[in-house]
Structure 1
Amino acid sequence: MATSTPNLECRMYEARYPEVDQAVMIQVKDIADMGAYVSLLEYNNIEGMILFSELSRRRIRSVSSLIRVGRQEPVMVLRVDKEKGYIDLSKRRVSEEDIQACEERYNKSKLVHSIMRHVAETMQMDLEDLYIHVGWPLYRKYGHAFEAFKLIVTDPDSILDSLTREVKEIGPDGQELTKTIPALSEDVKDALVKNIRRRMTPQPLKISADVEMKCFQFDGVLHIKEAMRKAEAAGNADCPVKIKLVAPPLYVLTTQTLNKEQGISVLNAAIKACTEAIESKKGKLGVKEAPRAVSEHEDKRHLEQFTKLALDNEEVDGDDEDEEDTGMGEIDVENANVGITE
């Protein structure tokens, strides 16, 4: 199984090509006259193409605003010609649900691939050989090798000792025999378990909620500041709460936790504490988006929307320097001396 010059290039999954109507993670390599050439990151960087007509459902004003060289993102598989190696892809047909599912799968697969590649390199093995005897059997049995790796952290023997491989041997009578042996030697198994335990640390989830908070009383900005403090005080060591101004009157509450239900519960408690505090000063708080776990893609899109809101708000604020203070200026809850940005 070991070679002097191991091949460390291999696809992540047993299938050599993706299925039609499957969302896959790609990286843009080149923009041509008719579309963009991309690499399918989960399939050992085989080439695919996105025609310009498959970039957006709307009229394209600027290709560069929709797709850029180097960008990684999920797209939908339209056609696969296995004989010619052609793969046609679409960006406009991939839904938000497809994007989220693809990102979650890819992040898991990327971690598995990184561990497998490191073990293969360290033990001087072909990466595909390691996938054939360990990775892909675990994908088949557990749905994703990532799920098996999580179990290996605490119980490696029950997972890995069940994997076997067949080898050919010549018996005493000179006849060829098929013998079943463990899929991994003890040294390779030890290296794999050590790498999994080092890399498979729990990843915290980001929980987020959006609220609108207003207070038109005198010193309203101070009342909002105090309400923000009450919200953050509702957090704990496992789920610390942060609340930040996006653009008056919009605020976002966030926490990071290993337990999704606990994180949502803590943010709900923070919203309740904040509501009680601001209403006691005749202010008002409304929930725009209830607490929910957000993916990397959603968080990025959220930030872009909030940035636009903040910029739009700055333009409006600049129209009238004598505008009455409503107590909802830019608040930094961590700096008690800063209340309103002029």
Structure 2
Amino acid sequence: MENDAEKKSSSTEKSNGSYASEQGNPLYDMFVTQLTRLHTVRAKEAIARGFGQANLVRSIGETWFVDPRYGKGSYWFYLMDGDTIVVSMDITYERAVEAAIETVPYLGFGLYEHAMPEYCSPECAGSNCKLIGHDWDGGTYTSSFEPGKRLSSASITIAPEAMHRYADALRCDKEKLRRTIGRLTTSDGVPGLPSALRGLDITYPAASVADAYYHAKVIECFALLASGIPERDTTADAAHISDKDCVECICSYIDGNLSSDLSTKTLCNIAHVSEGKMISAFRNVQGDTPQRYIRARRLEHGRRLLLDGSREIGGIAKSAGYRNQGAFTDAFKRAYGTTPRAYRKRLRIE
């Protein structure tokens, strides 16, 4: 016999159809794959295993709970019309967790709070605005979370083809609406949008009205976005701003993480853009490729550290992002025509 918690979980699944009926939908499969790899468990199984909380299971959509071996918290999402997903999450990992998945193209925006912004955008992590927008071309995406940090968000994700439908409903230009989402991270925010998104977190509508509520909530959020579209907005200016924002985001991350993995793949994940978009934007703004910029920044950082005679060259090499002293020496000699040791010796003489 099922207990009350199991009955609630079971009825939730029935209200949204069986899981099998959603399989094959690209957005749905992407979310399920990510949640599975991030060590979360569907509500029915979690409750049966004793760690799911019945009061957090919503009347519609899917509620997942973090496996207690990895952390705590819950994640809820609901697929609407086959092209839109609304999300509410509040989780904390007690162990380092990382998952790489192949994603489909999508657009999304949301309210990201607590430690979440630092995993999404360097700009948003350092500002008071926690609204973040994504225009993702698809490809491999890696989620990597540190232990002990609370991650919370309320967001909306849509397939690119859904943009036409929402723009038509609001009688606005589809491309302008899309660019507004892409710029959200570096904007001053959109009045009313944080409160509207927070409703996805705090409201648990009854099953009989839940679908209507979430449809209305999505339209409300898009309407608030559309209200922030400037009257004048040329395609050329928008493309320039987009490239500039993308490069500023990447450069900010590079300069603060010179000793970390700065592969092209990693940078694409940080900025939520495709490799082609990132390289094109870098060339337009910096006149160079991202990897050449990284090499120049790492060498300059290493050169400055050599001014401190008390630091070991091997330690400087690691701080500058080189796998060993030999790799640092080779790169330094190619750039400056001398070895780090000879450069330091010359400084002492001078």
TM interval, short-chain normalised: under 0.3
Flag the structure with higher helix content: 2
Flag the structure with higher strand content: 1
What is the TM-score normalised by the length of structure 2?
Answer: 0.27
What is the TM-score normalised by the length of structure 1?
Answer: 0.27
Q: Highest CA radius of gyration, 1 or 2? A: 1
